[in-house]
Each structure stands twice: as structure tokens, then as C-alpha cells.
């Protein structure tokens, strides 16, 4: 079985059924169509029917755990491969005689197991069906797409940011915004916070509130270090809150990250973003709606963010942005930064921080190797993604986040109406995410 084709057919067929307005929803017919498309052998089709049924049910329900395990599908994994175990950076997946179990005390919701599972047995909760439904009723309430900085080139070499924006508008979104604009806003806030902390005598600060997997890593494995993390929300949450402060609307985040799905559901953050789609899910949504991105014109430019906001998508980008802003705010402060490129490196650095042995005063943590361009929801290789992000960033009219006048206008208009902090104060324990 081709896992990618299998997952794609489930998403496409379900989205098409929703868009058709089919009532009542004929799930059995949907299962027949999907199994017929994916499996030639009748016995194989019958064997996979209950698994397809569970996958569809997970698409249609908004309840349950962030990550689900379909036990029946595990039997289709070749004996001894157990790739899900090997890709999990925190050893949260355990194989026993009874099958696979997930240790939630170790799980940081990074989504690597979802991407690594070869049989489709481990599935992240998806907002795919809900987004398809929202776009059908966009005339009732505006629905906005907000694009993670890693989006550049994900949908094909010939698909420019302008074409992608036009395709999303054609899909039914009422507007499209770069999350990188909110990254500019958060850069300014984190730079100011770093200056404030250092002037009061703090010797170390951790950033990357933009990476929920890294945040969960600190909370679960090094809770004593939580107070060192910047108190700003992620750019995704910031932009969601700003849009909702402007008007009553729905916000859909589109990005490379499975962990963002869990972040959007956290009790203290769930007011900001209604749905989260990966790039892979979004590509399938285009196919379901038969939107030909290559045929879209170039008349809807992307001009929301600075160079520094756009390079949040790759490792060291956040550091570059914040250090540049700090140098503008207080040139006397010398930032000696390190970065963790992937969970394993982050774990090593956090241990050194805990022991007081890290020769640095600032740390960036990226849960995925390469940064967001290496996320499990990406379509292209991370090195290609990094090159695309850097090239697009160079087209920005502003270099520093502090020079993004569009972001400045948004904050002047809406800043007083939104809280862009996590609400976490020094010494407080993290709020657990909902399951």
C-alpha cells in the first residue's frame, strides 16, 4: 500500500463529499470508493474497510486525543520495522506484546510519529473536514488563511507566493496573510523583553515560542527552565488574535507543523485560531476542489512582512531577527546566542542550561531539524525550503522587524485590544494542553 496515496484519497473523497452538500452523509459509499481506489484485491479491500472507517470518523469528529492510534492498521507494518519508535525523539512510543502505546508523559506532540508511521496507524487529529465545511459557508462569516513563513515553494517550483495567495482566495478564503507579519510584531516584543530581563540582572533567556514542540519539551522535561522562556505568544496565535480583534471571523493556519494543531487547542490559546492545516493537507484540499494553482495570475502580491519575519521559517532565523532588534533598542547589550536544531540538540542544550554550563545568554530552540522548513507537514526537502525562504525574504521592502510599517499600523489599530502574552509569569507552572 502507498501510504501517501491512501491518506490523500481519504482526504480528497471526504472533502468532495462535504463540498457536495451530501445529506445524510453516506459514509459507507465513501468507504467503498476509497477502498476501490486504493486496493485491487477484494480481500485486501475488506481488510482495510474498518481502518478507512476509523480514518473518516477521525476527520469528521472534533473530539478525542490529539494523536490517535488505529491498532488494526499496525498489523500492516512490516515485522521489526517499527519506524514510529525510531523517529520519536523522546521515546514516547512503546511496543509491547499488546501492540503500540503512546506514553503521554513523554509525548511532546511533534508529529514525527505521524509522518514516520508506514501503515497510517498513527494519525493526528485533522481539521481538514471542518475547513472544507467553513469554506462552503464563507458568505456567513469571513474565513482567513494565515500562512506560516515556511510556505514558499511548498506547492511547486512554479507556484509563487502571489499565485498561492490567489489560489487560496479561489478556494474560498476571504483573505490571506503572512504569519511572518506577526513574527515581526513578536520579534519586537521579545527583543524588548530580553533588554528588560538583562537590565534587571537576568543572565539567560530562551526564545522560540513559535515552536510548540520545543515548548512542550521544556515543560515536560525541564519544567524549572520554563521561567526562562519568553512570555510572548507564537506569531500564529498573535495574528489570529489580531484578526479576531478586527472583526468576527474564522482563522485557518496553514503550515509545516503537526504540533501547531495541539497548540491551537491549548486552553489559554484556543481563542486565536479555529483550524490548523499542514501544507500536505492544503495541497489535498486544492486537489479536492480542482483548483489549478499554476493557472492563477500574479495580481495578488504578498507584502506583509520584513526579511527578519520571513526567516523565522528556518533555524537561526529567530535569533537573527531578535538580535538585530536588540541591537537597535540597546546597542550596549551583547547577545551570545546558541540554537538547538532539532529536538535532540535542544535536549542537549537544555541540560547544559540546567547545569549552568552553557556559555551563552540566549537560546533558540527548533523542534525540527532545519527549523519549520523541516516540519512533518512539509512537501519539499528542508534544504530546498530553506533556500526558498531566504530568497523570498530578500524581496521584502524592510530588513528589520522594527521597520515593518504594516505591522506597526496593525498594532496601533488593534494592539490595545489583544493580549500577546501567554499569561505565564516567572516561576509559574505551565498549563497542560487539552487531550
Q: Is the pLDDT of residue 18 over 80?
A: no
Maximal CA-CA distance, the chain? 72
Predicted TM-score of the model (pTM): 0.90
Ordered DSSP codes for 46-67: HHHHHHHHHHHHHHH---S-SE
Which strand (E) or helix (H) includes residue 255? strand 250-255
DSSP alpha helix (H) spans, 291-416 = 307-310, 317-329, 343-355, 382-393, 405-414
3 pLDDT band, cuts 50/70/90, is low
Mean pLDDT on 320-329? 96
Strand partners for 102? 93
Greater confidence (75 vs 269) lies with 269
Classified by CATH at the fold level, domain 62-125 comes out as Alpha-Beta Plaits (3.30.70)
Q: What is the pLDDT of residues 174-218, one digit of tens each?
A: 999 999 999 999 999 999 999 999 999 988 999 867 899 999 999
Mean pLDDT on 364-369? 94
**Per CATH, domain 144-417 is 3.40.950.10:** yes
User: Grid coordinates standing for 140?
Assistant: 456567513
Residues 177 and 301 sit within 8 Å (Cβ to Cβ): no
Residue-level pLDDT at 164: 95
Residues 340 and 365 sit within 8 Å (Cβ to Cβ): yes
Q: What is the pLDDT of residues 272-290, one digit of tens each?
A: 999 999 999 999 889 888 8
Locate the domains of the chain by residue range.
1-60, 62-125, 144-417
List the 205-206 sheet strands across, edge first. 205-206, 362-366, 337-341
DSSP alpha helix (H) spans, 172-298 = 179-199, 212-221, 235-246, 259-263, 279-289
CB contact set of 385 (below 8 Å; sequence gap of 6+): 150, 152, 153, 154, 256, 313, 314, 370, 373, 374, 378
Hunting for cell 511532546 — which residue is that?
108
Greater confidence (424 vs 307) lies with 307
Q: Is the pLDDT of residue 168 over 60?
A: yes
Q: What is the pLDDT of residues 54-97, one digit of tens each?
A: 888 887 776 666 788 887 777 767 655 677 888 899 999 887 77
- Residue 351: DSSP 8-state: H
Q: Is the pLDDT of residue 222 over 70?
A: yes
In this prediction, what percent of the chain has a pLDDT beyond 70?
91
CB contact set of 427 (below 8 Å; sequence gap of 6+): 227
Mean pLDDT on 378-405? 96
Amino acid at each position: 500500500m502507498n501510504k501517501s496515496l491512501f491518506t490523500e484519497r481519504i482526504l480528497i473523497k471526504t472533502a468532495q463529499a462535504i463540498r457536495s452538500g451530501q445529506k445524510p452523509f453516506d459514509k459507507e459509499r465513501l468507504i467503498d470508493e476509497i477502498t476501490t481506489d486504493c486496493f485491487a484485491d477484494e480481500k485486501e479491500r475488506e481488510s482495510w474497510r474498518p481502518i478507512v472507517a476509523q480514518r473518516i470518523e477521525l476527520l469528521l469528529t472534533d473530539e478525542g486525543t490529539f494523536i490517535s492510534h488505529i491498532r488494526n492498521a499496525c498489523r500492516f507494518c512490516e515485522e521489526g520495522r517499527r519506524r514510529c519508535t525510531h523517529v520519536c525523539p523522546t521515546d514516547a512510543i512503546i511496543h509491547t506484546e499488546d501492540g503500540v502505546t503512546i506514553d503521554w508523559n513523554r509525548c511532546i506532540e511533534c508529529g514525527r510519529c505521524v509522518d514516520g508511521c508506514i501503515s497510517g496507524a498513527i494519525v493526528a487529529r485533522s481539521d481538514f473536514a471542518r475547513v472544507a465545511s467553513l469554506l462552503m459557508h464563507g458568505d456567513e462569516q469571513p474565513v482567513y488563511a494565515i500562512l506560516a513563513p515556511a510556505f514558499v515553494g511548498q506547492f511547486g517550483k512554479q507556484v509563487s507566493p502571489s499565485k498561492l495567495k490567489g489560489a487560496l482566495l479561489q478556494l474560498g478564503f476571504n483573505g490571506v496573510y503572512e504569519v511572518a507579519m506577526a513574527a515581526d510584531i513578536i520579534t519586537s516584543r521579545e527583543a524588548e523583553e530580553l533588554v528588560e530581563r538583562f537590565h534587571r540582572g537576568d543572565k539567560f533567556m530562551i526564545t522560540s515560542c513559535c515552536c510548540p514542540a520545543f515548548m512542550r519539551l521544556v515543560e515536560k522535561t525541564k519544567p524549572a527552565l520554563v521561567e526562562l522562556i519568553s512570555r510572548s505568544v507564537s506569531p500564529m496565535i498573535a495574528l489570529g488574535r489580531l484578526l479576531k480583534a478586527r472583526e468576527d471571523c474564522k482563522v485557518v493556519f496553514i503550515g509545516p507543523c503537526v504540533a501547531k494543531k495541539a497548540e491551537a487547542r491549548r486552553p489559554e490559546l484556543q481563542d486565536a485560531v479555529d483550524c490548523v492545516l499542514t501544507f500536505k493537507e492544503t495541497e489535498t484540499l486544492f486537489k479536492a476542489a480542482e483548483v489549478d494553482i499554476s493557472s492563477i495570475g500574479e495580481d495578488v502580491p504578498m507584502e506583509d512582512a520584513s526579511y527578519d519575519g520571513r526567516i523565522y521559517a528556518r533555524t537561526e532565523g529567530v535569533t537573527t531577527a531578535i538580535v538585530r532588534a536588540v541591537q537597535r533598542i540597546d546597542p550596549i547589550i551583547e547577545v551570545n546566542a546558541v540554537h538547538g536544531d532539532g529536538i535532540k540538540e535542544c535536549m542537549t542544550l537544555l541540560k547544559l542550561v540546567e547545569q549552568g554550563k552553557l556559555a551563552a545568554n540566549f537560546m533558540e530552540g527548533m523542534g525540527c531539524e532545519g527549523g519549520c522548513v523541516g516540519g512533518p507537514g512539509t512537501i519539499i526537502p528542508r534544504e530546498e525550503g530553506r533556500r526558498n525562504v531566504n530568497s523570498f525574504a530578500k524581496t521584502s521592502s524592510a530588513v528589520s522587524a522594527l521597520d515593518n510599517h504594516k505591522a506597526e499600523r496593525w498594532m496601533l489599530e488593534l494592539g490595545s485590544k489583544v493580549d500577546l502574552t501567554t499569561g505565564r509569569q516567572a516561576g509559574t507552572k505551565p498549563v497542560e494542553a487539552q487531550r
